[in-house]
Every structure is written in C-alpha cells, then in structure tokens.
Structure 1
C-alpha cells in the first residue's frame, strides 16, 4: 500500500509539473498564432459607398496579411459619432476610423485645409492635389502633428446642400439654419455666407430636418441619398463648395507598433480601397443627381463666382496658417 501511495503521489506531481509547463508556454504559442482584430468605425449608413470602401479595405487587409489581421467594420455610427470614434483611437477602443481630413482640426490646425470652401475647382483638380506631392505633404504633416497615421486619400464627392427652402443665390442664405460638422472652417464659411450654421452630429441630421430644428444640411450626394434627406428636403442645391477627402485614420503609435509587414499591408490596402472608391464616386455622381430628380426634388444650380466673391479673402482673414498650402493648390 505504501509503495502504491508513493507511486500515486509521484504521478500527481509529475502531471502537475507538465500542466504548469504547458501553461507557461501556451500564451506565447497563442500570441504567435493569434489574429489581430482592428475595429473600423464609420458614421455613414450601411450600403453607402463609405461602408463599401471599409468592407473592401477589410477584405484587402485579410488577403495581404494571410488572415493574420482581421478588420471588423462598424458603419452607421454604431460605435459613436465621428468625434467620439476618433477619440477612441487614442483610448484603443477603436483601431481605425474612416473620416475626412478636416475632422482632425481639434488635433492639428492644418487639417482645416481639406474644408476650405471653393478651393478645389473640380474632380480633375482634386486628383492633382490629393494624388500629388501637396497631398502627401498634407497627410504627413497633419498626421505627424496630430499623432495619427493617415492613409488612402479617397474622393468623397462634392458637397451639395439639401434644403427645405429654395436657395438660388447667395442672398437666399441669409438666416438659413444649416447643419454643419463641428469644424471651425465649416462654421466660419456659412457664417460669412450669411447663413446660421448649427453644428450637429451626422446621426441627428434627419430628425433635426424633420422637426425643423434646421432648414438645411450639406454633404456629398451619396450620403445625402443614402440618408434619405430627399424625404425631408424638397431642394438640392449644387454649391459643390468642397471636394472632400476621406482617409483611414489610425493612432500613429499603435500603427508603428505593428510588424513592418503588417504596416505595409494596411497602407497598401488603404490606397487600393481609396482608389476603388474614388472611381466609384466619380462614376455615380451623375446617377445620384438623376435619382434625386426622380424623387421630384428640385435641383438648383448656383453661380459659384457669386459665393466666392462673398467669401472674399476667406483663408487670409480667418486661417492665415493655411495660406501657403491654399496658394499652392490654387496654382495647380
């Protein structure tokens, strides 16, 4: 009996040591084989071209990393509005956000360049800016100053106003309550044009229009359509005051902590997804105009020069730090 008991104790101790050994190595083995998950936030509705770009980015990242990195897409503002999700990058609750360059104005004043009104003339001019040296300089400067990695500049489309009141000239803007993003350049633009800008989260716009809290709002055509603003606004105004640029935004420190191969894969995926979206938006802008008209919406084309004249030396007066970039862009 004593020999049997001694053998039993020996077996138990041996088993315990084996288990301890397994436990000490298992986390390392798991870490080596684990999948990195990136949560990607976007406020636009599911089905919007923004949402589709996010999903394309997710597929490309998975392909380029051999499945080592998985991107989970959360569209429709399910993780919060754009300001909350950008703040979440630093808190590590979100790893990627798809948003316009201008939304980073709270982190770096040079981000305002993307929202300067009537700075870009058309889609060809847009391409020269954001696919050229000045675009690379803007993304690197803003990203470095703000502590973010900015990748994949994508054409978001020209911004149009949807309104409950007809706006045929700049004089019709007087007192118009228009929803704008909570970005300094947007607020100052519409103030100087004579309107009454009201900063508000994107997810609150439809209800605000429906209840009369605001009379108008402005966004790219795809977002105007997919948010069904035609249901509450009988007028679509072709101001085309901004040719917007979205980028994939990551916390710079977190991005740099990833393996170099993963960083390169994410950068490549961002550029390819952005290129796809740019072409898609260019192809569909006219289609969206036709869709609005099919809903009985009245489309109003305005005189761009009239608006430009009303703004005067907008950059020099309100945002002089942007003037060197603005001058370069104007001369392209």
Structure 2
C-alpha cells in the first residue's frame, strides 16, 4: 500500500514538473483584452483603412483574444479631446500625427520640423532605425505617451485663394495652422499671419474668408474637399509628417509583455504598409485635384528654407535631435 501511494505521488510530481516546463501561454489566452481606439478619419480615407487593418491584424494574430474597438470620424471628439481621453482611460489608442503631442512636451514637435525628413526612404530609415527607437523612448519619457509605428503622411502643401508665386507672397497671408507651436512658428518666420484652428471648422472658415489658406498633405486636402474652397496649391513640401498609434505610456506598460510586443510589431507592420500606399496615392491625388479645378504651381523651396533658420533658435532643445534625424543616411 505504501509503495502504491509512493508511486502515485511520484507520478503527480512528475506531471507537475512537465507542466511547469511547458512555455507559458500568451497573456491574451488568459482573458480577453479589448482596447478602444479613436480617430477623426472617414470611410474611404487611407487612415480610416489603416485603423481597420491594425484592428484586424491584432485580432487575427491573437486568435480573437485581443480586440480593438474603433470610434471613427471623430465620433467621440476631435483629436485633442481623444488624446486627453488616453490620460483618463476613455481611450486606449489614438491614431494621429506624432506632432500633436507637442502640447505635452516640445520633443514630439520634431515631427513638424520644416525640411527635416527628405523623402520616403529617409522617413523609413529614421523612424524604423536606431534613431527612431531612441526618439520613441524619449518621447515616452518626456510626454508620458507611447507612440507605436510611423506612417508616411506625404508632404504638406500650401493652399490659398490668392496666388503665391514667391516666398514674398506669403507675407500677411491669413493661414490656418494646427494649434501646435512648431507650425505657428514656421509660418511666423515666413511672414504669414498664422491662425491656430481645429480641422473641424476649417472648411467653413475658408469658405467664409476667415482665413486665406491652409497647409496639409494632399490626402487631407482631398479628404476634406478643400479644393471646393481653395483655388491654388503651392508646392512648398515644407514638412513630411508621420502618423502613429498613440498610447498612454503607463497604461501600455501595464499590459502583459507579449501583448505589448503584439501591438508594437503589428503596429509597425501596418504603418509601413500604409506608408507605401500613401506614396503611390500622392501622385494620383495631384491629378485628381487638378482635374477638379485646383491650380498647382511651383515655388523656390530653397528660398523658403533659407528663412526658417530661426526655428533652431526657437527650439534649442530640438536642435540635437534635428541633427540626429538629418544625419541618417
């Protein structure tokens, strides 16, 4: 009897040892995780589709145990309200540009530093290389927000209801800019009269002549139908911006490590795919907007760049980072 009990005990110990030696199941296998995403983009827009692709990739890879619920089209508020929602937990993810975080710390404003990113190839090498990884960690440390991935937004163009043929024509132009310091300072230095304003009221403001113009990527210009209220598109290409997935850094770190890895890897992958799509879309959008009646014109970009040397003086803390970005080959 004793021998029998001893054999049973050894079997139980052996079974326990086998179970202990097995690799741990992914954290999402323990309990479902549902993350709430907010963005301002409408169906048919590339960033709307990118958000859908991210949610699908995460759910598929996790076997349905990690899900992203999307509140699109600004249905839960504009982008500043959505980002504030990350702090209080009403949102888990916001799809927006990196520079929108400059209201929390100047460093994310580097995304809007004029003539810093040269082209798509440089964009990828910066944001998906060691400099980008260092930048992401520093943004998290200084702003308390974790950014995941970077999507090429395309170059920003100036649009106006007045002809702008030279940099001198920018002087006095009432220009809507995002309510972020880097944008405001850029156009101040070029002699414009920048008017910080949210995107929701921009179409009406252009229509009623409250402002003369605005600046955005061609995708944004097309999506918000600015061609209906703007006559001229000027090839300034002064900024190549980056979309990203924004999380609260503290709440992101509270997720299981394997879920963090999943969200980062799939987030990077989807943003790289979106970058290639946007690059193809840019040229077709110019043709589309031209056919709708917008008049496209060139401008001496070097003359614009030469007047923006004061940016480094206005943002001395960003100068070392600007040098790191520019040095990436």
Aligned 1:93-104 pairs, distance under 5 A: 93-104=90-101
Shift of 1:32: 8.3
Alpha carbons of structure 1 residues 32 and 66: separation in structure 2 relative to 1, 3 Å: closer
Shift of 1:102: 0.9
Aligned length: 301
Contact 1:43-1:203 at 8 Å conserved across structures = no
Q: Matches of 2:308 and 2:111 in 1, distance apart?
A: 17
2:243 is equivalent to residue 246 of structure 1 = yes
Q: Which moved more, 1:126-135 or 1:188-197?
A: 126-135
Per-residue CA deviations over 1:270-310 (Å, capped at 9, x if unaligned) read: 11110110010111110011111111210011111000112
Report the equivalent of 1:73: 70
Report the equivalent of 2:314: 318
Q: Matches of 1:270 and 1:200 in 2, distance apart?
A: 29
Contact 1:112-1:185 at 8 Å conserved across structures = yes
2:208 is equivalent to residue 208 of structure 1 = no
Shift of 1:34: 5.5
Q: Matches of 1:181 and 1:197 in 2, distance apart?
A: 9
Per-residue CA deviations over 1:130-157 (Å, capped at 9, x if unaligned) read: 2222111111100122112210111111
Report the equivalent of 2:6: none
Q: Matches of 1:63 and 1:74 in 2, distance apart?
A: 20
Q: Matches of 1:188 and 1:313 in 2, distance apart?
A: 9
- In our comparison, the structure showing a higher alpha carbon Rg is 1
Contact 1:77-1:203 at 8 Å conserved across structures = no
Report the equivalent of 1:199: 196
Aligned 1:76-87 pairs, distance under 5 A: 76-87=73-84
2:137 is equivalent to residue 144 of structure 1 = no
SS of the equivalent of 2:35 reads strand
Q: Matches of 1:234 and 1:104 in 2, distance apart?
A: 31
Alpha carbons of structure 1 residues 191 and 264: separation in structure 2 relative to 1, 3 Å: same
Q: Matches of 2:326 and 2:261 in 1, distance apart?
A: 32
4+ long deviations beyond 6 Å:
none
Report the equivalent of 1:6: none
Contact 1:45-1:227 at 8 Å conserved across structures = no
Per-residue CA deviations over 1:107-126 (Å, capped at 9, x if unaligned) read: 22211211111122222222
Report the equivalent of 2:277: 280
Contact 1:44-1:223 at 8 Å conserved across structures = no
TM-score, normalised relative to structure 2: 0.88
SS of the equivalent of 2:69 reads strand
Picking from 86, 90, 109, the partner of 1:89 is: 86
Contact 1:41-1:79 at 8 Å conserved across structures = yes
Contact 2:173-2:192 at 8 Å conserved across structures = yes
Report the equivalent of 1:293: 290
Report the equivalent of 1:329: 325
Picking from 38, 41, 47, the partner of 1:41 is: 38
Shift of 1:311: 1.6
Shift of 1:206: 0.8
Contact 1:43-1:202 at 8 Å conserved across structures = no
Report the equivalent of 2:108: 111
Report the equivalent of 2:181: 184
Contact 2:155-2:238 at 8 Å conserved across structures = yes
